[in-house]
Amino acid sequence: MKKVFSSIFACIAMVGLLSSCVEEQIETAFEVDAAEAYITAKVIDLATETDVTSQSTITSSVGSVSGNRIMIVGNNTISATTVAVTASYTSPNGTVYTKTEPVGINEIRAGGKGYYTVTINVGEITPIEDYTIDFEETKDSQVSKYFFDKAVFTIDGNEYHWAHNESQYLLRGTVEYKIKSGCEVFASDYPVEIFKEKLENIEASFEENNPVKYEAKEVKIIVSAWCYYTAWVALTTDEVVRTYYAIDNMGNKQVIGTMEYWDYSECMFGQAELPSPNHAEHYIAGHGYDDTHDTAHGHGHGHSSGHGADNAGGGIVYAD
């Protein structure tokens, strides 16, 4: 019996303890965080199809804004609602575009969080046919010398190739070469799909109007006695990088491709002589061993003819 009375007493004591807890203490024990909603905004410039979020100002009809992120904190819960998100963007030509997009927020219970995204398109789309295509060019020029086929000797510290007239007679000859001109496209890149066909057509027209051509030329040369001699063609090649731009109706400008080509802009013939080291004291530019017999200069019968007189010439070929 004592055990039964002890158990009854313990139960009565527990009920009394629970009854002593006030209502406010029970509510505090079960308190939860307020509901939160987050909206991330992205801004696209329609004219250039680029992300301009970092250059835009974002505002919202509800909540606080930090950069392109909006935070909404509810009073415990968030009722289903619509938030107006606005982007303001200034284009490169100074035009200000402002656009607002609605974002639907679902009901969020206390302690819950919701995440939303919105894309805001600003600017105007220019029809492809209304774009102006322009370009800028940079070039790097280099000159290459091509020597005639008899110029096979080299001299230390001298850039030319030489042939050798070891005789006392003037030599005559003809150097044949070709003037190279025109342009040659060697690389192109058109990554913006809507302009690719247009730029390919421009490239095809450029090649058609600037073909690589070779015009045959002959130059008569006279070589002095006792000398090294040479003839060459100096070809100037411009390596050109052309950058294409598309300009829309608002004046916005974007890079749409590049074309690289060689422009064979100038082709010059040249010749030179140096005294032969073994007969330097006898060398006189434009003369043979006896000026009175120099038919090359119209002084009589001369000995330049019949003594290797017609073997000074040759041909000049461009390297591939």
Where residue 112 sits, what CATH number does that domain have? 2.60.40
**Which is nearest to 164 in space by CA: 294, 312, 315?**
312
Instruction: Give the percent of the chain with pLDDT over 90.
Output: 60
Query: Is residue 12 in some structural domain?
Result: no
Number of structural domains (the chain) is: 2
Q: Is the pLDDT of residue 209 over 60?
A: yes
Residues 6 or more apart from 305 whose CB is under 8 A from it? 295
Q: Domain containing 230: what range?
A: 129-315
In a domain, 290, yes or no: yes
92 and 205 fall within a common domain: no
- 47 and 114 co-located in one domain: yes
- Please check whether residue 229 lies inside any domain of the structure: yes
Residue 306: pLDDT over 50: no
Q: What percent of the chain has pLDDT over 70?
A: 81
Give the model's pLDDT for residue 17. Answer: 45
Question: Which burial class, exposed, middle or buried, applies to 173 when counting CB atoms under 10 A from its CB (0-12, 13-18, 19+)?
Answer: buried
* Domain shared by 118 and 193, yes or no: no
Q: Is residue 221 part of a domain?
A: yes
229/268 Cα distance (integer angstroms): 17
Do 244 and 135 have their domain in common? yes
User: C-alpha distances in angstroms, 117 versus 101, 114, 307?
Assistant: 11, 10, 93
User: Which of 102, 122, 142 is where one domain is finished?
Assistant: 122
Question: Is residue 168 assigned to a domain?
Answer: yes
Distance, CA of 272 to chain centre: 42
The rounded distance, in Å, linking the Cα atoms of 88 and 45 is 11
**Among candidate residues 92, 122, 152, the one where a domain is terminated:** 122
Please check whether residues 232 and 293 belong to one and the same domain: yes
Which domain-ending residue is among 122, 137, 165? 122
Residue with tokens 């819960």: 77
Q: What is the pLDDT of residues 163-181, one digit of tens each?
A: 999 889 999 989 999 999 9
pLDDT computed for residue 231 by the predictor: 93
273 shares its domain with 296 = yes
In this predicted structure, what is the pLDDT of residue 47? Answer: 77
Residue 56: which pLDDT band, with cuts at 50, 70 and 90?
A: very high
pLDDT bin (cut points 50, 70, 90) of residue 208 is very high
Residues 43 and 91 in one domain: yes
With respect to residue 44, please indicate whether it lies within any of the assigned structural domains.
yes
Task: Verify that 237 and 273 share a domain, yes or no.
Answer: yes
Domain shared by 213 and 239, yes or no: yes
Contact 224, 169 (CB under 8 A): no
